[in-house]
Structure 1
């Protein structure tokens, strides 16, 4: 006999995230005659009434398009709206880690979700079974709200609340620790701008043949020529090293830059290898990428998605300029 929303009311595992709570469960309203744990025939409206009554302000849906059909929840977004909550679809492939689809959307979602959690709010996160994808994002959210929380501790917190099987794969567990939370601390923007002279005392080197050296505020004909060859009007010079200026081990930085490369490839963007080379000998050059194509808004989104204080944006005039993380203004205002 199929289990229903009446016979098996929705159970929401509560994961502490700062002052707020992340609720984790399987897909509301799913109809699964051949479910791994037995057949389901749930009701969307009933389940979302329970989520609303639990106190969620937002719903993060991590299933892919084909799963809406397979689980018979094509009206899921409509039911979220009807229940008075905000819906954010953030698709992740089953048994996998968040990719370019998730990270490219996350900065805009974070503007609403993270401040709400900091104010003691609640957000509901689900995938199909409520273990792998939902557990991974819940652990990552806990790290957003508690910067001192280690990835292993965040995962343990999720497993204690939901299931020892939550965060299912080694790759998902690694992702929680290797991808920096994108939310800056309060006053991070002011502190970063206080170091603006460091950005200006850096050569942004592109490893083309011949090499292109960029400086903030200095026109580069070589860059303009590269734009013309690629058929673009703009580019961004970005790294994934040392999120928010927090020095990380070289091994961590190398993995983070690999995540950035995969993100760009998944987004259909090419890139040239490079490095930010500080004047003098006090700091290690930061491996970086020049990405032809992104406009100012897309460059700002990349900056936020990879937790950088700033990126170097190069517009049609080929004069590099600093572009600060757009989340600084929100974090400084909300705390």
Structure 2
């Protein structure tokens, strides 16, 4: 077999890395988006380049350190910050809601995200698949930014149908109304 044939065969057998999809929508004067974990599709560096091109001012990571390491992102926080973006790690177990140690960090993270959005900035939230945990956080941010829950959920699911996967995640997101809003 010629070396070109080996290369072609190897290329055909190698799993193709998927491009990172960023699902964005306007919120509070800025752009709020959700996406899968960088590297989850097999191309950590390419995903970081895509995020860098998107230019978020803040990235909220809802994945655990173990999930990040499994995707090649042991240094995710450092890598995000090296792109001149702020990074907040809010590790939540898959299909879960924020544990107490993350719950106490949420008010400051939410305030930072809403301030960035109000200033016309971009905020990116990710979890492993870009659906449940990130959808939960994005929906909560939309609600805390003043959107009625039902309308916010419809807008979010128009761009990412799988956003918010469990009833507990929905309830956590809707708890954003505790800051003085009412559902429509």
User: Quick check: 1:119 aligned with 2:132?
Assistant: no
C-alpha contact 1:15 1:24 (8 A) present in aligned 2: no
Bigger CA radius of gyration: 1
How many residue pairs get aligned? The number is 169
**Shift in CA distance, 247/59, structure 1 to aligned 2, threshold 3 Å:** closer
Deviations 1:211-259 (CA, angstroms, capped at 9, x unpaired): xxxxxxxxxxxxxxxxxxxxxxxxxxxxxxxx45x498xxxxxxxxxxx
- TM-score normalized by the length of structure 2: 0.82
**Shift in CA distance, 154/247, structure 1 to aligned 2, threshold 3 Å:** closer
What is residue 176 of structure 1 aligned with on the other side? 173
Secondary structure, aligned partner of 1:110 = helix
Q: Which has the higher relative contact order, 1 or 2, with Cα contacts under 8 A spaced 6 or more apart?
A: 2
Deviations 1:151-194 (CA, angstroms, capped at 9, x unpaired): 222222111112x22211122122221x126xxxxxxxxxxxxx
C-alpha contact 1:155 1:173 (8 A) present in aligned 2: no
- Which 4+ runs in 1 deviate beyond 6 A? none
Deviations 1:249-298 (CA, angstroms, capped at 9, x unpaired): xxxxxxxxxxxxxxxxxxxxxxxxxxxxxxxxxxxxxxxxxxxxxxxxxx
What is residue 34 of structure 2 aligned with on the other side? 24
Which of the residues 147, 151, 157 maps onto 1:153?
151
**Which structure 2 residues correspond to residues 277-296 of structure 1 after superposition, within 5 A?**
none
User: Quick check: 1:41 aligned with 2:42?
Assistant: yes
More strand by share: 1
C-alpha contact 2:44 2:72 (8 A) present in aligned 1: no
What is residue 71 of structure 1 aligned with on the other side? 71
Please, what is the CA RMSD of the aligned residues? Answer: 2.0
Q: Distance in 1 between matches of 2:70 and 2:181?
A: 45
What is residue 6 of structure 2 aligned with on the other side? none
Secondary structure, aligned partner of 2:102 = helix
Stretches of structure 1 that go unaligned for 5 or more consecutive residues are: 31-39, 182-242, 249-335
More helix by share: 2
